[in-house]
């Protein structure tokens, strides 16, 4: 079973937040908060700050709290994903995309009305907790199971 941890940055902008448009293998665009896989030897917050800088050009100088965690089990594909989302404070810099993975194609300051619409193209393990966070929920824990052998066509069940 392949396991990895991802950090997600919740960066407020007005009544909404910063989202990045990620190009997926099927060529679709998936909107998510900035973040990514935490590298070996990094703490979660160090890796998350690095990912935010690479994907947006912005530097995060502090974090308020862990806003939620997500676990996604994909037994048919042999992987498990764990996500920690943290709310950023003290964000500086201009938007510049320098994603070494070449996935991020756009960065957007999405309003509270626009963000849920953009997030609908993302998997439930992304749009559900982000949507609830925008609505004021904090400290939640979300569990999902992805059944099937394809991420895009598998069946997602919410456990918690």
Classify each residue of 86-103 as buried b or exposed e, where b means 16 or more C-beta atoms within 10 Å of its C-beta. bbbeebeeeeebebeeeb
The predicted-structure confidence for 59-117, as pLDDT tens digits, reads as follows 999 999 899 999 999 999 999 999 999 999 999 998 989 888 899 999 999 999 999 99
The predicted-structure confidence for 12-48, as pLDDT tens digits, reads as follows 988 999 999 999 888 889 999 999 999 999 999 999 9
Range of the domain at 113: 2-158
* CATH number, domain with residue 45: 3.90.79.10
SS3 65: strand
Residue of 70, 97, 94 whose CA lies nearest to 7: 70
**How many other CB atoms are there within 10 angstroms of residue 148's CB atom?**
14
Task: Tell me how many domains the chain contains.
Answer: 1
Rounded to two decimals, the pTM is 0.94
Spatial distance between the Cα atoms of 109 and 18, rounded to a whole number of angstroms:
5
């Amino acid at each position: 079973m392949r396991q990895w941890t991802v950090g997600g940055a919740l960066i407020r902008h007005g009544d909404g937040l910063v989202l990045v448009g990620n190009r997926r293998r099927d060529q679709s665009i998936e909107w998510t908060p900035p973040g990514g896989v935490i590298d070996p030897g990094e703490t979660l917050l160090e890796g998350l700050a690095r990912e935010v800088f690479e994907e947006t050009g912005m530097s995060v100088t502090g974090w308020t709290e862990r806003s939620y965690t997500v676990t996604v089990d994909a037994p048919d594909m042999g992987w498990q994903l764990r996500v920690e989302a943290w709310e950023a404070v003290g964000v500086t810099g201009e938007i510049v995309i320098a994603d070494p993975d070449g996935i991020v194609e756009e960065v957007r300051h999405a309003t509270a009305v626009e963000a849920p619409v953009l997030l609908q193209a993302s998997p439930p393990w992304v749009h559900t907790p982000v949507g609830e966070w925008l609505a004021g929920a904090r400290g939640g824990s979300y569990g999902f199971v992805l059944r099937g052998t394809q991420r895009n066509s598998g069946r997602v069940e919410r456990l918690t």
